Amino acid sequence: MSDARTPAQIEADIARRRQALAVTLDEIGVRMHPKTIVGDAKARAASTVDRTAGRAYVVVNRTVSDVRGKLVSPDGQPRLERIVPVALVAVAVVGLLAVSTRRRRP
């Protein structure tokens, strides 16, 4: 069996490799284009924001459900023995903030 190729086969092989190289160079050119790079960065940033917002939503939703479970009975009635102390603490904190803000002003 002979491994010798004809000149036509060699030329066809060179043409195929040249075409493959041209496609590869075009792909590199598209990937390295500034608009492509900026678009990819924007997409990654948007994905990160969406993922972070989704996680924050889950945490806030879970926290609200936990707090609601502690302040409202299973039948939907408010638990005054828990709500009143929380309200008093909130009023005290707001009052302290108001007093400290007034003291700072000349």
Structure confidence by residue, pLDDT tens digits, 75-86: 889 999 989 998
Give me the domain span that covers residue 90: 78-106
Query: In the prediction, which pLDDT does 100 show?
Result: 87
What is the percentage of the chain residues whose pLDDT exceeds 90?
A: 73
Statement: residue 47 has pLDDT above 60 = yes
57 in any annotated domain = no
- Do the domain assignments include residue 71? no
Residue 97 lies in a domain: yes
**Is 101 a domain residue?**
yes
Distance CA 101, CA 93 (A): 12
In a domain, 17, yes or no: no
pLDDT of the residue at 106: 61
In eight-state DSSP terms, residue 72 is B
Mean pLDDT of the 66-74 span: 90
Residue 49 · residue 56 · CB < 8 Å:
no
Residue at 1 is within a domain = no
Between CA 14 and CA 20 the distance in angstroms is 10
105 domain-assigned: yes
Domain count, the chain: 1
